[in-house]
Structure 1
Amino acid sequence: MSDEPALADVVLHPVRLRIIQQLGGRDRTTAQLRDALPDIAQATLYRHVAALLDAGVVTVVDERRSRGGVERTLALGERMAAVDQAELLAMGGAQLRTAFLNFLGDITGDFDRFLGADTEQSRELVGFARTPLYVNTEDLAAIQAGLAELLAPYLTERADGRRRVNLATILLPEPSDPNSRRVGE
């Protein structure tokens, strides 16, 4: 049995989710994280960075001397910050609800920060929608693989004037209706 904590226990904390979002596709120094997350106390930020480092979710990619201390540059580590299907299946209902609410809270916080800095240029990049899909697990795996391939060129920060946006996905199966007939039956 592994001594590593469950990934969900590590990443599904509101502060850690925000740190992970800041690192997605780019390296950031601890000073850059402080600047990007000014509402989080420095000691709290460092404590959560340490938890992410301990879990292998975040890694140190560079260190340099700065003002008598060492400034670390961080990136997402080998243990990616995504909770896999096995971990979701192992969660009880209350834990899954808490994880989902943390996820939604993180997105809501991002949206509030967007509204606080709202510009016409930013509005050109915002959007949200819902689309019902009819899938089985194999279909879903194919869709996810296709999305991963489609999105791969856009996951790394570039210096060509492209703006960073966050794409969030949520899959919610509808409850089965015992009275409904399936197509083809």
Structure 2
Amino acid sequence: MPEESSIADVVLHPVRLRVVQQLGGRSLTTAQLRATLPDITQATLYRHVAVLVEAGVLKVVDERRVRGAVERTLALGERMAHVDQAELRTMSDAHIRGAFLTFLGDVAADFDRFIDSDDGSLRDFVGFGRTPLYVDAQALATIQTGLSELIAPYTSERDGRRRVSFGTLLVPDAADPQQSQHFENDESP
């Protein structure tokens, strides 16, 4: 049996990342998935879908015959498409930099598609900003748990709701070495 690939190796490819993003919270047929990603050729899309299915990131939830071919309906699989802290610690600097640039590229491409659209009402759903937080590891875990609980009711497709992409980005401020040492020794909540 082949060794299981890391989630980062599987998901952090520009095409596969976009496929995972499209399926988050919903099931799509392969035809519907192709319609959401029109700039990706059919052969390329199917090749990357196969990699994601084999890795357990996607699963086939239904199959039906359509004009002599089998149409599959896909959803996110059992293996969560998320790179956790333990895996981040094992990645080389070059690998984590590449993963981060893939993430940023995907966000930028989504933003470009939004800007290029003709739907002016979409501007009601866009926003971006940065806020400094002062946390220790425990406080950060509390924030992440609370945020997950807050957004959970909105992570599945529902009639009448517009789909938006919500991303998070945590980058420690490495500019002040004294602050870093204080952070390591801080035991207060």
Which residue is equivalent to 1:177?
176
Taking only the aligned residue pairs, the percentage that are identical comes to 64
Kindly tell me the number of residue pairs found equivalent between the two proteins. Answer: 183
| Cα displacement (A) at 1:86 | 0.7
After superposition, give the CA deviation of every residue in 1:6-46 in whole Å (9 maximum; x if it has no partner): 00000000000100011000000000011110100100000
Which aligned pairs between 1:2-13 and structure 2 lie closer than 5 A?
A: 3-13=3-13
Q: CA deviation at 1:93?
A: 0.4
Q: Which residue of 1 aligns with 2:91?
A: 91
2:157 maps to 1:149:
no
Classify 1:21/1:178 alpha carbon distance in 2 versus 1 (closer, same or farther; 3 Å).
Answer: closer
Partner amino acid, structure 2, of 1:152: A
Q: Quick one: distance in 2 between partners of 1:73 and 1:41?
A: 18
Whichever residue aligns with residue 76 of structure 1, its letter is L
Aligned-partner SS, 1:124: helix
The SS at the match of 1:78 is coil
In structure 2, stretches of 5+ residues that fail to align are none
- Measured on the aligned residues, the alpha-carbon RMSD in Å equals 1.9
Q: How does 1:132-143 map to 2 (within 5 A)?
A: 132-143=132-143
How many Å apart are 1:120 and its aligned residue?
2.6
2:99 aligns to what SS in structure 1? helix
Equivalent residues in 2 for 1:14-163, closer than 5 Å: 14-159=14-159, 161-163=160-162
TM-score, length of structure 1 as denominator length: 0.94
Note the C-alpha offset of 1:182. 5.9
Q: Distance in 2 between matches of 1:151 and 1:41?
A: 33
Cα deviation for residue 70 of structure 1 reads 0.5
Instruction: Give the distance between the partners of 2:81 and 2:124, measured in 1 at CA.
Output: 28
What is the CA–CA distance in structure 2 between the aligned matches of 1:118 and 1:170, rounded to whole Å? Answer: 28
Deviates more, 1:124-133 or 1:168-177: 168-177
Quick one: distance in 1 between partners of 2:52 and 2:78?
11
DSSP 3-state at the match of 2:149: helix
SS at the partner of 2:105?
Answer: helix
**One-letter identity of the residue aligned with 2:112:** D
Using the TM superposition, give the Cα deviation of residue 118 of structure 1 relative to its aligned residue in structure 2, in angstroms: 4.4
CA distance 1:84–1:182, change in 2 (3 Å): closer
**Alpha-carbon deviation of 1:119?**
2.6
The DSSP-based 3-state class of the residue aligned with 1:56 is coil
The residue type equivalent to 2:22 in the other structure is Q
Task: Rate the CA distance shift 1:95–1:68 in 2: closer, same or farther, 3 A.
Answer: same
SS of structure 2 residue aligned to 1:105: helix
The residue number in structure 2 matching 1:168 is: 167
TM-score normalised to structure 2 length:
0.92
Structure 1 distance, partners of 2:177, 2:79, is 40
